[in-house]
Structure 1
Amino acid sequence: MPETEAHVLWQALQFEGLIWLITAALLAGFVRGFSGFGSALIFMPLAGQFLPPLWCVMTLVAMDIFGPVPNLPRAYRDGRPMMILWMILGMGLALPLGLLVLGQMDTLLFRYLVSGIALSAPLALIAGFRIRAAFLTPKVLFGVGVCGGFLGGISGMPGPPVIILHMASRLAPAIIRANTMIYLFLFDLSLLLSMALSGDLVALPVVIGLVLLVPSMLGNIAGGYIFNPEKETFYRWVAYIVTLAAAVGSLPLWD
């Protein structure tokens, strides 16, 4: 291994707060494995305590890019490709604008933002509003993708608009899990490509993310193993509780 690469890896392994980031990655991967979402909602508020905004996003992307891979074949079988396509088209349009805003954001504001998003998403889901499946038109899906792309760009959390829409639908739990998992995976790919093209990628947060890949993937495997569509309500509430706890516990006012 070249000396520079070894030095960056050593910096990553010695990074202050790494043990907490590992714990957050394991927990986030586990929840994503059985629910199809929750990875960024759980990880970002916790990571914001130790990393600056752009580094948080880079670390999340490097960690998430491979974490869901063990569950993707099943998600591909269960999902609805055309629904995912419309959301991805909208996301790709708005993502660069969100990243532009993120680059100018203060760390304290970022921490409040990600905690606020992580708090509001499960509360919106708990409210329990419902829509008909016929409402999920290409225009609606595209618009939700735009919202998710911008939100993902400024916070690293593209999921809430997509998750809330799917959870409000009457789609089967397996389809909801599959669509959100594939959408989030493709968002990670798009975000990585955007940051690489803009020259914003930094070695250290990427390597930290790759270190976190192992606990994230182990969590995904464990969560996917226990997933049972017949226990949809139980899994939802576990995801809600973990997300809310991570968001409240990470608010800057506790510093």
Structure 2
Amino acid sequence: MDPLFALSTPEIALLITAAFLAGCTRGFAGFGTALIYMPLAGVVLGPVAAITTLVLMDIVGPLPMLPRAARHVDRGDLARLLLGAMLALPLGLFTLFLLDPGVFRLLVSGVSLSMLAGLVLGWRYHGALRPGAVTATGAASGFLGGVAGLPGPPVIFVYMASAKPAAAIRANITFFLFGYDWMVLAMMGLAGRLDPAWIVTGLALIVPNMLGTVLGTALFVPGYERAYRLAAYGLILFAALAGLPFWTLGE
């Protein structure tokens, strides 16, 4: 695979569009970054490059939210989530390194479609959030994040049914995903899989991603949350179907 400056014009346009749409959706719906970016990026990037660019593109997004969220973090739960992710992420990355690009695209689209079905149908985990369950949730997110770049589904489905205050749920998810990004970078670096070209590509994609976030935030009007969720669902569905390994991007 080639770095951003060596890709064809349609490939560059697709990556920029994916980064922009991912940011826009996060801006007006509050979720969906990886679910939109990963299937589309997988069309033109290999598995390792796609996850590397996602993590670097998205690493500055949560920074403005961290100071406020820090006041509401359940530190015990956050530590358990990160511990579970740290234990399972290496296995996910090891599997990722072995994946054929076509299988990777199928996996990413399949997980995205499953996540979308869960959101639409209201799937929730209704068991008690005991320490072991929290650690297991972190492990599931770590493995799924390593193998497909989608760490969000397990922790989101578990916490959305939690009796914890909404502010604590948002704070824990925000800090967990921020910590996951740094763990991925560290483990990929230790494995010698951080290609400088993809680091530059990911950093370059921060610009369209942040522009999309700003636009999406500006478009948000309180009272129309359902309409924004439906728009996010439509974009996730489009990205997941477009990312299936049956399509190629013409020159």
Give the TM-score normalised by the residue count of structure 1.
0.85
Q: Which moved more, 1:109-118 or 1:196-205?
A: 196-205
- Segments of structure 2 that go 5 or more residues without pairing to the other structure are none
**Structure 1 pair 129/121, CA: closer, same or farther in 2 (3 Å)?**
closer
Once the two structures are TM-superposed, the CA of residue 175 in structure 1 deviates from its matched residue by 4.1
- Give the corresponding residue for 2:5: 13
Map Cα deviations across residues 102-146 of structure 1 (whole Å, 9 max, x no partner): 1111010000000001110020122214455x8222211111100
Once the two structures are TM-superposed, the CA of residue 183 in structure 1 deviates from its matched residue by 1.5
Task: Output the aligned Cα RMSD.
Answer: 2.5
Letter in 2 for 1:116: G
Whether contact under 8 Å (1:71, 1:224) holds in the other structure is no
- Give the corresponding residue for 1:98: 92
- Give the corresponding residue for 1:84: 78
Once the two structures are TM-superposed, the CA of residue 166 in structure 1 deviates from its matched residue by 2.1
Distance 1:131 1:54 in 2: 31
**Structure 1 pair 234/45, CA: closer, same or farther in 2 (3 Å)?**
same
Distance 1:229 1:83 in 2: 31
- Give the corresponding residue for 2:207: 214
**Structure 1 pair 169/95, CA: closer, same or farther in 2 (3 Å)?**
same
Calculate percent identity across the aligned residue pairs.
Answer: 47
- Segments of structure 1 that go 5 or more residues without pairing to the other structure are 1-7
Secondary structure at 1:154's aligned position in 2?
A: helix
Whether contact under 8 Å (2:22, 2:37) holds in the other structure is yes
Once the two structures are TM-superposed, the CA of residue 164 in structure 1 deviates from its matched residue by 1.5
- Give the corresponding residue for 1:40: 34
Once the two structures are TM-superposed, the CA of residue 181 in structure 1 deviates from its matched residue by 2.3
Distance 1:208 1:192 in 2: 14
Letter in 1 for 2:93: L
Q: Which moved more, 1:166-175 or 1:78-87?
A: 166-175
Distance 1:106 1:207 in 2: 24
- Give the corresponding residue for 1:195: 188
Secondary structure at 1:109's aligned position in 2?
A: helix
Once the two structures are TM-superposed, the CA of residue 91 in structure 1 deviates from its matched residue by 0.5
**Structure 1 pair 110/67, CA: closer, same or farther in 2 (3 Å)?**
same
- Give the corresponding residue for 1:60: 54
| Greater helix proportion | 1
